[in-house]
Structure 1
Amino acid sequence: MVNLRNLDLNLLVTLDALLQEQHVTRAAKRLGLTQPAVSNALERLRYLFKDPLLERAGPAMKPTPRADALREPLRQALADLSNIVAGPSAPDISQIEQTVRIVMTDLAAELLTPRLYARAAREAPGLGIAVLPWLGPDRTDQSILRGEADIAITIVLSSSQPDMRRELLSYESYAVAMRPDHPAAEAFDLARWLAYPHLILSARGDPHGVVDDILAGMGLRRQVRVTVNSFMTIPRLLATSDLLAMLPARFLSTVPREYRLIGRPPPIDMPGLDLFLQWHPRRDSDIATQTVRGWLKEAMAEK
């Protein structure tokens, strides 16, 4: 039996190339080696196998019966060794039975869940999608840390957990939403905007937000009369009242036609909002969450 500790495995790689090319120069080119190096390796292989292995036949070389017998077992052995070093292959997403839990707002769910389900139905029929409510960035961080959620679509604050994976998903600009016959719709400006009551969206029910901080810096205040925690409650409220709402401009594309809401540019310098995909590092190698993150990015890019 051959002592493997004394065996240079590179010799077997060289033998495989020689058996495929049946030519020293071509084998050397294939391996990125010099012709003398391959010739030297062939001599060592002949000594190892106690067989000529390749014999001169005109300009080419012809494998001996022993070399022919080695061809397939050698290729299989090298493939097996490569697989051992590379580790197990990634599971096939079409065969996975798993539910991916995603924290997102109801607006994001309205926009993205139909597309996620359609992709899963086509490509991963065993993959389930569970939508969990977004209750603010801090609680979202905790859900990810505790393993209660796999992915989140969220915002990042200075207080956000640092030990998270995050990837920018989209940039959201704002618009002031209102009914089309709202008294402020014509000649809309700062004075008209402040003259009417406001609706604010807050996961925690906080009636004070970024808009109010900006106004405070200008020495101004607005009238916040309604605070809601769901995008889906907003269309009817705006359509049946004089309420105004500063919302992501993308929201208007989701409003049912019966409400016919319109948008106006913000009358203040309103910064946009960065939305991030967020997950815990322990999910880095999970093929299901990797796949769904990719689907989410593609779906958002299409919107």
Structure 2
Amino acid sequence: MDLHGIDLNLLVAFDALMAERSVTRAGARIGRTQPAMSAALTRLRTLLRDELFVRGPTGLQPTPRALDLADPITHALGEIQRALEYTQEFDPSTSTISMNIGLSDHPTFLFLPRLVSVLRQKAPGIALSIRSFTKRDDAITMLDGGEVDITIGVPPTSTGRIISTCLFEERFVCILRSDHPAARAKLDLERFLCLSHLLVSPENERFGVVDVALAKMGLKRRLALTLPQMYAAPALVASSDMIATVMAGVVTTSGHADKLAILQPPLELEPVQFQMSWHRRNDTHPAQRWFRSCIAGAFPDACSGE
């Protein structure tokens, strides 16, 4: 039999007729009028080439064919019902699904330990898989391809199919080794420009946010070292004469803060936002929504302007 031509509503009607043995009561059971149930029974008889139900002294009596179909149809409808209910409910305490996250470097160090701790308490059966990315628009590629469920990093290029929300912001600080002569006084722009600079550039560009700000003033700094690994910067600065302008969270998470002088940059620098992004196709799935709420809960301080 070609299943493409079968109306699921007919199977629901059959199940109700089998339970009630009355067209009127079966219609009331599933919210249909008596004429609608009679029409459904006629269609069922045509589809299955059997009378299915015949009148008896106590109501409709199922034929042998109807009795053969009763248990399989009831079971099938129950499985469909359970499948549909599963899409509406999610129990993290018993779930054994896998979640895939795309993380840039900083969220990996700052946030991942928090998430692992939360999942160990609330959802011990959930498995995590981490994918790293460096270029911000790699997040879009990973989400489009279904490689990850969410990404966390600096904002990717805006696109309607990707939904994003800001999790946290990072302000910039300047770091010098703690016994550097320039660390003894307030860091002004003149002293700043006289120093040798370390540039952290995850995307391997030789023009960072500091250079953009300086260019607006017609100024340039002297770069001594450019590297993509931001967490290498504090250790390098702590053992050299270089200065670096990095996110404050990188310094505190690096384990080298006690060896560094942390100073206010002598120019205006906008904080960096880190966003959680996901594909629109995953927006309403209960497990995905629960997972995103866990991640958002790990960052209680909202981004400014969010």
TM-score w.r.t. the length of structure 2 is 0.67
Do the aligned residues in 1 keep the contact of 2:100 with 2:150 (CA within 8 Å)? yes
Task: Identify the residue that residue 114 of structure 2 maps to in structure 1.
Answer: 115
Q: Find the residue that maps to 2:93 and give its secondary structure.
A: helix
Matched residues in 2 for 1:253 and 1:263: separation? 10
Task: Identify the residue that residue 209 of structure 2 maps to in structure 1.
Answer: 210
Q: Which residue, 173, 176, 181 being the options, matches 2:174?
A: 176
* Mapping 1:45-194, distance limit 5 Å: 87-88=85-86, 89-156=88-155, 159-185=157-183, 186-194=185-193
The amino acid of 1:144's aligned partner reads: L
Deviation at 1:119, TM superposition (A): 1.4
Q: Deviations over 1:137-174 (max 9, x none)?
A: 111211111111211112225x4333211111112221
Q: Find the residue that maps to 1:137 and give its secondary structure.
A: coil
1:266–1:162 CA distance, 2 compared to 1 (3 A): farther
Gaps of 5+ in 1: 11-79
1:260–1:292 CA distance, 2 compared to 1 (3 A): farther
Do the aligned residues in 2 keep the contact of 1:236 with 1:259 (CA within 8 Å)? no
Q: Find the residue that maps to 1:301 and give its secondary structure.
A: coil
1:295–1:7 CA distance, 2 compared to 1 (3 A): closer
The amino acid of 1:217's aligned partner reads: K
Q: Deviations over 1:182-209 (max 9, x none)?
A: 2221221111111112122222211112
The amino acid of 2:271's aligned partner reads: G
Percentage of matched positions with identical amino acids:
27
1:277–1:211 CA distance, 2 compared to 1 (3 A): same
Do structure 1's residue 237 and structure 2's residue 236 form an aligned pair?
Answer: yes
Deviation at 1:270, TM superposition (A): 0.8
Do the aligned residues in 2 keep the contact of 1:166 with 1:276 (CA within 8 Å)? yes
Do the aligned residues in 1 keep the contact of 2:163 with 2:278 (CA within 8 Å)? yes
Do the aligned residues in 2 keep the contact of 1:116 with 1:292 (CA within 8 Å)? no
Matched residues in 2 for 1:238 and 1:295: separation? 35
* Mapping 1:27-42, distance limit 5 Å: none
Do the aligned residues in 2 keep the contact of 1:96 with 1:288 (CA within 8 Å)? no
Gaps of 5+ in 2: 1-21, 32-77
The amino acid of 2:178's aligned partner reads: P
Q: Find the residue that maps to 2:167 and give its secondary structure.
A: strand
Task: Identify the residue that residue 296 of structure 1 maps to in structure 2.
Answer: 295
Matched residues in 2 for 1:188 and 1:258: separation? 18
Deviation at 1:220, TM superposition (A): 0.2
TM-score w.r.t. the length of structure 1 is 0.68
Q: Find the residue that maps to 1:224 and give its secondary structure.
A: strand
Matched residues in 1 for 2:160 and 2:99: separation? 23
Do the aligned residues in 1 keep the contact of 2:197 with 2:225 (CA within 8 Å)? yes
Q: Find the residue that maps to 2:164 and give its secondary structure.
A: strand
Deviation at 1:9, TM superposition (A): 8.0
